[in-house]
Structure 1
Amino acid sequence: MLLRDPKNAKFLIIRFSSFGDVVQTLSVPSAIKASFPEAQIHWITRKDMAPLLKNHPNIDKIWEFDRKAGLKGLIRLCLQMRREGFTHIYDAHNNMRSRVITWILRPLGILGVGPKFIRRSIRRWKRFLLFKFRINTFEMPFSGQRDLLEPLQPWGISKVSPAAPQIFPSEESHKKAQEVLGPYADCVALAPSAAFFLKRWPKEYWKELILLNPDQRFVLLGGPEDSFIEDIRDVAPERVLNLAGKCSLQVSSSVVALSRMLISNDTGLLHVAEQLGQRTIALMGPAPFGFPSRSSTKVLEIDLKCRPCSKHGQGPCVNKEKYHQCLVDITPEQVTREMKLLLRTSHR
């Protein structure tokens, strides 16, 4: 029988992806430690996400899953994990892979035998009411981190986010960030991309923001597929550095840490800044479930009856009066005012 003594507790967190969700889940280990100070905490994640977890003082072991290994590889990894004798398992992902893990690690779970277990609910009924009938039964304001912590309350774990920082870029990634930044150190970082177009502040607005601030240097961050970001740089190439596709997730995180502040769409780097405690302006559009919640972040949003309109901002836009109004009505002049106000405040 597994020990239930808090001093002998051993937790497993399951969260494979995505970038932003993994970063938000980084608050969970510290929340667990606040209630179980002597517990061991393990985490299984996708191999490409594992570096984001490294150096976290409250994660004792990271289990890396390589998607190329397929189902057989996942089963082999789970059989190794069974030897750990976990007392608590938190499925923060709730997909087929996470269910395979729980089936293997607690085969008699249906009988109540084995590790204590919580699976984060996707809340399909609440989402259906929200997106189909505009009936909102979610706790307000929306908060991505609270939604990840709330399921753990039956174990006596608080749903209040632990203080930043909750992400810890390595010294190596900091050095690489300093190298790629060069004279652009201490600039303002911009994250113009997002997984879905409707979550993106218009490209022309980013250009105008840069032109409205002729004395400020900027660095642009994004992925290798974000070729449109070079167009933003071209508006003032003498004081804008484009690092899109040139940095790993870890180095990009260090760039955010070394910058004066971040201005970001609803995307993974927004959550990096949140977990660093970095000053941030969040441009929030159609999606509700990645909302930041720390005082270091200034949320800019437009109150519309059609918001939120989709889970991830995948669309289509349902605003019949003005396409993409939720982000189009946030002006570069407004963002400039907020940026200057935040830059006058002390850094973290």
Structure 2
Amino acid sequence: MPNALIIAPQWIGDAVMTEPLLRRLHARGERLTVGALPWVAPVYRAMPQVHEVVEFPFQHGGLQLKARRSLGKQLQGRFDAAYVLPNSLKSALLPFLADIPKRIGYLGEARVGLLTHRLKNPKAKPPMVAFYSALSGEPGIEADRPALRLPAPNVDAVLQAHGLAAGGYVVFAPGAEFGPAKRWPHYGELAASLQQTIVLLGSGKDVPFCEEIAARAPDRVLQLAGKTALLDAFALAAGARHVVSNDSGLMHVAAAFGVPQVALFGSSSPLHTPPLSDRAQVVWLKQDPAYQPPLDCAPCFERVCPLGHFRCLTDVSAERVLALL
């Protein structure tokens, strides 16, 4: 059985979208170890095909060559192949320093000599699941969909700890690490319109916005942003009646668990990072022929609206989302 090292992406949503690739590699007999940054590592613990997760001691920015060289030395002789999922130079360094004989990845920033098997980056932005699955070298990747699994007792225990029952609440994931051009501004209005219990999930950065939302319906909102471990947030999303989110990591988590959801897109595109679930409803004004004037500026893929109006999200009303729920 060949041993393979997976160099994981640094974003939660991207990590979820790599699951079909890992499922393909496992199905053909590869024993998978995933190397991931600490905040992404829990995603891979929800993938049963992963044998081991190694948390990398790296930080954002810089090559941190000394740390990579030290870890590479520790990993020498353990792996037959490495799959480098990010496109950066530093992500390809570790498999090279570990002297892994087969190193597969996309051509990226000056890393021709670091990879032994190189795929050309597509000119247009492709669907990301297929982008990752293509590293397997197998056909049929267009139909791939991510799936996550948590043991039922884990979900039940998390829900009980918060006084919740499966299917008895709605999750809002109002944050977006990428920037404000992905954040729908009307969650507070939607919270005031719903009668169900609402659970707010997100990181510590999302707390101020979540507290504003909670103030609109204080008797029905459970504000858990910044207060849960990532796998507990997964359990809360998995047990929800519905999830409402921006284009974010938790959107992909909800899709992978098959939870009914409304996914709100602004500066990004559901053609590139869609929630791959039959139970997902996508709202993107770019694709709405009734919306005038047309959003010729979308998708811009910018963190902040370059034109300053944020129409792509501001003009999606709470009533529209409520109707979908």
With the shorter chain as reference, the TM-score category is 0.7 to 0.9
Number of matched residues?
298
Asked whether 1:56 is paired with 2:50, we answer no
Gaps of 5+ in 2: 110-121, 287-294
TM norm structure 2: 0.82
Q: Which residue of the partner structure matches residue 130 of structure 2?
A: 146
Q: Which residue of the partner structure matches residue 236 of structure 1?
A: 217
1:249-328 equivalences under 5 Å are: 249-288=230-269, 289-303=272-286, 304-310=295-301, 313-318=302-307, 323-328=309-314
Gaps of 5+ in 1: 1-7, 108-113, 124-135, 340-348
Q: Which residue of the partner structure matches residue 5 of structure 1?
A: none
Decide whether the 8 Å contact of 1:30 with 1:162 is kept in 2.
no
Distance, in Å, in 1 between the alignment partners of 2:2 and 2:220 is: 52
Q: Deviations over 1:197-254 (max 9, x none)?
A: 111001xx212212322x2221111211221211111111111111111111111111
After TM superposition, give the deviation of residue 157 of structure 1 in Å. 5.3
Distance, in Å, in 2 between the alignment partners of 1:96 and 1:294 is: 33
Code of the aligned partner of 1:324: F
After TM superposition, give the deviation of residue 299 of structure 1 in Å. 1.0
After TM superposition, give the deviation of residue 105 of structure 1 in Å. 3.4
SS at match of 1:287: coil
Q: 2:69 aligns with which of 75, 78, 90?
A: 75
Aligned sequence identity (%): 26
Distance, in Å, in 1 between the alignment partners of 2:163 and 2:140 is: 39
Q: Deviations over 1:137-174 (max 9, x none)?
A: 637xx53322222343xx22542354553343684465
SS at match of 1:85: coil
Decide whether the 8 Å contact of 1:14 with 1:98 is kept in 2.
yes
Code of the aligned partner of 1:149: S
After TM superposition, give the deviation of residue 16 of structure 1 in Å. 4.4
Distance, in Å, in 2 between the alignment partners of 1:270 and 1:162 is: 17
Distance, in Å, in 2 between the alignment partners of 1:181 and 1:162 is: 36
1:40-55 equivalences under 5 Å are: 40-55=31-46
Distance, in Å, in 2 between the alignment partners of 1:169 and 1:18 is: 23
Moved over 4 A (4+): 161-164, 169-174
Distance, in Å, in 1 between the alignment partners of 2:135 and 2:307 is: 32
Decide whether the 8 Å contact of 1:52 with 1:169 is kept in 2.
no
TM norm structure 1: 0.77
Q: Which residue of the partner structure matches residue 115 of structure 2?
A: none
Q: Which residue of the partner structure matches residue 110 of structure 1?
A: none
Distance, in Å, in 2 between the alignment partners of 1:170 and 1:18 is: 26
Q: 1:223 aligns with which of 185, 196, 203?
A: 203
- More helix by percentage: 1
Distance, in Å, in 2 between the alignment partners of 1:185 and 1:241 is: 15
